[in-house]
Amino acid sequence: MKEVKKIRGVGVTSLKVGARLHFIKKEKSSIGDKDKPSSPERELERFGKAKSRATDQLIDLEERTRRVIGKDEAEIFEIHRMLLDDEDLNQAILEKIDKGSSCEGAIEYACLEYSNMLKSLDDPYLSERASDILDIKEQLLSSLDEKEKKDVKIDTSPYILVAVDLTPTETARLEKDKILGFVTFGGSSSSHSAILARAMGIPALVGTGAIDKVYDGAYALLDASDGTLIINPTNEEKDRFLEQRDKEERIAREHERYLRSIMNKPAVTRSGYKIMIYANIESSREISGAISNGAEGIGLLRSEMLYMSKKSLPTEEELFLSYKEIAEKMEGRRVIIRTLDIGADKQAPYFNIPKEENPALGLRGVRVCLRDKEMFKSQLRAILRASYYGRVSVMIPMIVSVSEIRECKALINDAMRELRERKESFDEKIEIGIMIETPASAIMSEELAKEVDFFSVGTNDLSQYTLATDRQNPSVSHICEENAEPVLRLIKMATDAIHKRGGWIGVCGEMAADLSLTQSLAKIGVDELSVSVPYLLGIRGKVSECI
């Protein structure tokens, strides 16, 4: 009788699978004795060839990922291609070769230095890029061997793959029909590999710590919903697990069928209260998914994502074209464009926001826009111009006072005047709203309601500021989960205030997608719930179950 071994990790999807474990040992490219340069000219030539081979492989991977997984996931490899062309990185490699290093050594050390530098910048976006650089390093080193990198392929029946870690490249290369799930010793639920696993619908367990290689080939039950791996289960455990899995899959299929059947019906509670179901998006790429999952509008376009993907400020024309595309694709449904909410956890270096002790309490959102008024007006003009092509609303984040919104409205008027002078068309009656995401804005909601057409509650920040819990800090996240009531009371205050003035209110933070709070939000009387695309169907179904 083999010993049962239970391992815990972070589950990435809520799926279950039972299969044999297959450990893969990755052939890490090592520079070893290859670090003997021939001549700088020869090494430069080798680098050029490796780079072009790596680029071809990335184009292939991007294409394959787009076909098999999805457009958003394919973008990871587009970013890798951009990083492969990064001037600073290329310069550093060339300099090392010039100074006599081999191609292998130059790639290894330049990538490591670059990755460490990005990590030290203390910016979540750039830290992610640091691990992408390491992925590129492996790609370049393996391309030097003049061999096509092989897919992770093992000739056995389907299995659960076990690896120390998987880079996005390796994850995208997994043969989905052979790999029923994967387990990695490292990684977190927000790593790129985890995101890909989720999109591919593969159960995965990450961050398990090292698992003894003696279990290679052993049968195991992977439960990504509760984050466990049971190796060598007893027959009873196995039967119970597989029975439970079949039952859950049946229920999920039936529920999905039911949700699809009500997708195009209004979301109405049993007592007849109608709630609009909108989508939160970051770019036009998410629109088709939003529409095919029944979104009646876009409740939050996080406009800062376009700024963050650029090396310098986007022009009014670039912004306009991107907003116009979204407005047109939504075909007359409402599109709420939130003005730039840069700062705190969302940074772009060219904004020159000084390093702050408490960034969440510092220069962010409307505060940055009111500091850089010309930059703000360029975005306002782009939004106004897009309003000619659909039903666009403008929404200002991080408001704490009446004077701030008045200042914003004055700038909207200036932007309108400038457009009239340029003979550009726009919606003269564009709806103006604010985010309720500071306790001050909820407390002042009676006064603020006189200034705007609508409110949208950003519960992620409203919870952070109300409960004094840093939304980036996992060790206090339970405080938010356990204390919805103070936040619900602030939402009620804002709802009553805006309704009294004839306006409307939505909720676009993560609370809107929390099915355990839908009843409370319906009872408060919110008019709209805006959630990310995967939650659209579920939230519509939940509203129809509410009283």
Task: Report the residue number, 123 or 461, with the smaller CB distance to ligand PEP.
Answer: 461
3-class secondary structure for 137-166?
HHHHHHHCCCCCCCCCCCCCCCEEEEECCC
Binding mask 505-534 for ligand PEP (x = CB under 6 A): ---xx-------------------------
Binding mask 420-439 for Mg ion (x = CB under 5 A): -----------------x--
Residue among 192, 408, 480, 546 flagged as catalytic: 192
- The residue from 189, 460, 483, 544 that contacts ligand PEP (CB under 6 A) is 460
Name the segment binding Mg ion (CB under 5 A); options: 31-39, 275-283, 450-458, 514-522: 450-458
Name the segment binding ligand PEP (CB under 6 A); options: 84-92, 139-147, 192-200, 458-466: 458-466
Site for ligand PEP in 161-220 (CB under 6 A): none
* Rounded Cα distance, 301 and 171, in Å: 29
Name the segment binding ligand PEP (CB under 6 A); options: 82-90, 232-240, 454-462, 513-521: 454-462
343's CB contacts (< 8 A; 6+ apart) are: 351, 353, 359, 362, 363, 364, 365, 367, 368
Q: How many other C-beta atoms are found inside a 10 Å radius of the C-beta of residue 516?
A: 10
Task: Report the residue number, 72 or 461, with the smaller CB distance to Mg ion.
Answer: 461
Task: Report the residue number, 57 or 347, with the smaller CB distance to Mg ion.
Answer: 347
Encoding tokens for residue 51? 């780079």
DSSP state of 179: E
- 223: contact with ligand PEP by CB under 6 A: no
Minimum Å gap between C-beta 283 and Mg ion is: 18
DSSP state of 223: E
Site for ligand PEP in 270-329 (CB under 6 A): 300, 302
Residue among 111, 480, 508, 546 flagged as catalytic: 508
- 364: contact with ligand PEP by CB under 6 A: no
- 458: contact with Mg ion by CB under 5 A: yes
Size of the site for ligand PEP (CB under 6 A): 10
- The residue from 62, 437, 514, 528 that contacts ligand PEP (CB under 6 A) is 437
**Taking a C-beta distance cutoff of 8 angstroms, is the pair 107, 43 a contact?**
no
DSSP line for 77-138: HHHHHHHHT-HHHHHHHHHHHHTT--HHHHHHHHHHHHHHHHHTT--HHHHHHHHHHHHHHH
Here the contacts of 226-230 (C-beta below 8 Å, separation 24 or greater) are: 226/11, 227/8, 227/9, 227/10, 227/11, 228/6, 228/7, 228/8, 228/9, 228/11, 229/6, 229/7, 229/8, 229/9, 229/183, 229/205, 230/4, 230/5, 230/6, 230/7
- 461: contact with Mg ion by CB under 5 A: yes
- The residue from 191, 269, 339, 459 that contacts ligand PEP (CB under 6 A) is 459
Task: Provide the binding-site residues for ligand PEP, judged by CB under 6 A.
Answer: 300, 302, 341, 437, 458-461, 508-509
Report the catalytic residues.
192, 508
